[in-house]
Chain A
């Protein structure tokens, strides 16, 4: 009996160890991706490295012919937040797909599941840096996961471009690799508070958030800013995300008599809130959302209840490129862009920005494509790119959204730009 147990242990250990070991070389036929480990060893034989690679602080990614240029992503693909990860990975992969490649090399997205948790974010980052053909990271998706992954990419010299990590502190840590397309909570909150107070002329608002770092960050800024402008915040309430009944907190807010309710959070909660708006006695009160609540999903699922709601987006009103993207996205994935999350367009641009930066620094020598990593980090920081979300130009800390927000209002079940 004991010996049997010993055997079982040995087998399990062997299995796990064999999985830890580098890919076996005697089995070159297994999965294309697995072969990617080999180039590292063969790098030395490629008649010495080009000078640009030797000069680079992080060396070069060497991609042999027939391989793809990989862009990594850590995203919640499974579990409660999977719609964000699925949407953003689809957006980025579409960008990589429409690009016709660089000198015969094509791009590939390697998206790994983080479930949205910081711990798994670090695990994915550690996995990404072991793959030598991953040159850049589109992501991560949530601020916590990004926070945990940043130091790992920093060490390996992998540039990041996040379409959705909005925590203001992320760019305040002096990171060289981290950039984002998303708008920081600080900027967005300021714009929103100004609009509420100065342009819409409200003096009494309530501020709500979903208890996440994104929502809380926004709500705090709006509260501070609105009070600084001279307005009054009559209620500040947080809800539990993922529930389906918010009548109780909404009624509590309603009893304080606000003229508008600012909500920091995502569409899922906003839709439920909107549908319970009149149940809570908030009939004449304006709903003011953020860039997490913008999107087709909101208008689709609130119907008449959502009339008059306001939200923000980075995406300027319809352009030709946007409708082309919308159509292609819908055809390819069977859902409308903006249906799964509000980040479809930023995700597409993230892919575009990274491709543009790679093409700036990459060069071909012999049968290999070389991407100097340090130079790529700088190239991403120096991006100057026009995409669906307008101009993408990073400042010195990595805030890359240069075109400012557009406010939208629901009129007849469609988001229209606010005058």
Chain B
């Protein structure tokens, strides 16, 4: 009997792991049952609101998380300054929108009609493009200045360099633009707090224009990225470099150029996410990138770092967990990050490489 037990190769750690997992699972099921059917404390409209806000935030997290994952997939480093890349995109978008709002539309004869309100959609497209491009540029420079000289150094060295870059960029933004919070000037069409009213049950729930807009755009960008990685030549060389740098170099791929382009793409997505953040939530200052940065990093690991669909799933899941988690478990909303991180720990205990992550080879880890 004992021998049989030993053959199963169960150590104390594993046993504890599974017992703990079982307890947690039973507790979760019980709580979910209690809040949804027994207590019924929230109506269907409230659940709908949770769902909508979770998806919108999830979309933004996904975009930032992809940046972490792309860089990690190729360089195996945590780009700690990625949140700051996003922050600078938010600033760039803000200035573009301010410019559009300040110029009055030509030919309309009405001085009070700004370019922004006369042509809201072209203005927004330009804003997104400029914001994302600025972030892409920052990402490129970041790699060139702070990471490239460190190729071949020990693994943790670029992490410290990234932390330094993060502190630098954050303070540079504060010194350049001042410490005050700023707010995006949305076109009147897309003003915050306006949207479609959808009837749910007896009440109606607002589906905001900005939220819908952000969500659709993030889905489009992610689809675009998937196509880029799967179909184009650049995508192929990115995958090749991620798989094996030396072999890729031998096949005639310019490894440094591919790494640069990876940083440009991840910066571009982060910048777009930054502008979305501004348009949807409005308020921002030099600190805006820090929390989304940490959250997106969590999301990337949750989905399996290095895996692009994993980052998307992880981001969405994290967004939903943050809005639905406290409600389902019936605990304070203040503790939503505790829930998110606990789920992360639980997922990693049972699936050590994240939800969609492949098991990494020893030498990669």
Tell whether any CB of A sits under 8 Å from a CB of B in the complex.
yes
> Is the CB–CB distance between A83 and B334 below 8 Å?
no
The CA-CA distance from A83 to B177 in the complex, in Å, is 12
Asked whether any CB of chain B lies closer than 8 Å to the CB of A78, the reply is yes
> Is the CB–CB distance between A248 and B291 below 8 Å?
no
Q: Shortest distance in angstroms between B176's beta carbon and chain A's nearest beta carbon? A: 13
The CA-CA distance from A167 to B1 in the complex, in Å, is 64
Q: Shortest distance in angstroms between A227's beta carbon and chain B's nearest beta carbon? A: 19
A272 with B281, Cβ < 8 A, contacts A242-B291, A252-B46, A254-B46 known? yes
* Residues B57-109 near A (CB distance < 8 A): 57
> Is the CB–CB distance between B322 and A248 below 8 Å?
yes
Q: Which residues of A contact B285 (CB under 8 A)?
A: 83
Q: Shortest distance in angstroms between A382's beta carbon and chain B's nearest beta carbon? A: 35
> Which listed segment binds B: A30-38, A63-71, A278-286?
A278-286
Q: Which residues of A contact B283 (CB under 8 A)?
A: 244, 268, 271-272, 301
> Is the CB–CB distance between A247 and B53 below 8 Å?
yes
Contact with B along A225-250 (1 / 0, CB 8 A): 00000000000011110111101110
Contact with A along B180-218 (1 / 0, CB 8 A): 110100000001110100000001011010000000000
Q: Which residues of A contact B179 (CB under 8 A)?
A: 82-83, 86, 340
Asked whether any CB of chain A lies closer than 8 Å to the CB of B287, the reply is yes
Q: Shortest distance in angstroms between B175's beta carbon and chain A's nearest beta carbon? A: 9
Contact with B along A294-314 (1 / 0, CB 8 A): 000100110101000000000
From B49, B277, B288, A248 is in contact (CB under 8 Å) with: B49
> Is the CB–CB distance between B287 and A79 below 8 Å?
yes
> Is the CB–CB distance between A245 and B49 below 8 Å?
no
Which one of B277, B283, B290, B323 has the greatest number of beta carbons of chain A within 10 Å? Answer: B283
Q: Shortest distance in angstroms between A8's beta carbon and chain B's nearest beta carbon? A: 18
> Is the CB–CB distance between B50 and A251 below 8 Å?
yes
> Is the CB–CB distance between B327 and A248 below 8 Å?
yes
Number of interface residues of B (CB under 8 A): 48
Asked whether any CB of chain B lies closer than 8 Å to the CB of A367, the reply is no
Q: Which residues of B contact A301 (CB under 8 A)?
A: 181, 183, 282-283
A244 with B281, Cβ < 8 A, contacts A254-B46, A280-B49 known? yes
The CA-CA distance from A240 to B294 in the complex, in Å, is 15
Asked whether any CB of chain A lies closer than 8 Å to the CB of B158, the reply is no
Closest B residue by C-beta to A277? B193
> Is the CB–CB distance between A242 and B287 below 8 Å?
yes
From B41, B208, B287, A80 is in contact (CB under 8 Å) with: B287
Closest B residue by C-beta to A84? B179
* Residues A244-264 near B (CB distance < 8 A): 244-245, 247-249, 251-252, 254-255
> Is the CB–CB distance between A281 and B322 below 8 Å?
no
Asked whether any CB of chain A lies closer than 8 Å to the CB of B336, the reply is yes
The CA-CA distance from A141 to B49 in the complex, in Å, is 37
Asked whether any CB of chain B lies closer than 8 Å to the CB of A211, the reply is yes
Asked whether any CB of chain A lies closer than 8 Å to the CB of B122, the reply is no
Q: Which residues of B contact A83 (CB under 8 A)?
A: 179-181, 285
> Is the CB–CB distance between B287 and A240 below 8 Å?
no
Q: Which residues of A contact B284 (CB under 8 A)?
A: 244
Asked whether any CB of chain A lies closer than 8 Å to the CB of B168, the reply is no
Q: Which residues of A contact B53 (CB under 8 A)?
A: 245, 247-248, 251, 279
The CA-CA distance from A211 to B322 in the complex, in Å, is 17
> Is the CB–CB distance between A281 and B42 below 8 Å?
no
> Is the CB–CB distance between A252 and B193 below 8 Å?
no
Closest B residue by C-beta to A335? B180
A279 with B287, Cβ < 8 A, contacts A251-B46, A340-B179 known? no
A238 with B332, Cβ < 8 A, contacts A247-B49, A255-B41 known? yes
Q: Which residues of B contact A276 (CB under 8 A)?
A: 192-193
The CA-CA distance from A279 to B196 in the complex, in Å, is 10
Q: Which residues of A contact B57 (CB under 8 A)?
A: 245
Q: Which residues of A contact B332 (CB under 8 A)?
A: 237-238
Contact with A along B133-173 (1 / 0, CB 8 A): 00000000000000000000000000000000000000100
Closest A residue by C-beta to B204? A281
Asked whether any CB of chain B lies closer than 8 Å to the CB of A339, the reply is yes
Closest B residue by C-beta to A274? B193
> Is the CB–CB distance between B206 and A240 below 8 Å?
no
Asked whether any CB of chain B lies closer than 8 Å to the CB of A275, the reply is yes
Q: Which residues of B contact A340 (CB under 8 A)?
A: 179-180
- Pick 29 A–B contacts, CB within 8 A, sort by A: A80-B287, A83-B285, A86-B178, A237-B333, A239-B333, A244-B288, A245-B53, A248-B326, A248-B333, A251-B53, A252-B42, A252-B327, A255-B42, A255-B43, A255-B46, A268-B283, A271-B183, A271-B282, A271-B283, A272-B283, A279-B53, A281-B45, A281-B46, A281-B49, A281-B203, A281-B206, A301-B181, A301-B183, A301-B282
Having A79-B287, A248-B322, A340-B180, one finds 13 other A-B pairs with CB under 8 Å, namely A78-B174, A244-B280, A244-B288, A247-B53, A248-B327, A249-B326, A268-B181, A271-B282, A271-B283, A279-B208, A281-B203, A297-B181, A305-B193
For the complex of A and B, the 7 pairs showing the least CB-CB separation, nearest first, are: A244-B281, A238-B334, A249-B333, A247-B53, A82-B179, A248-B323, A251-B49
Q: Which residues of A contact B (CB under 8 A)?
A: 78-80, 82-83, 86, 211, 237-240, 242-245, 247-249, 251-252, 254-255, 268, 271-272, 275-281, 297, 300-301, 303, 305, 335, 339-340
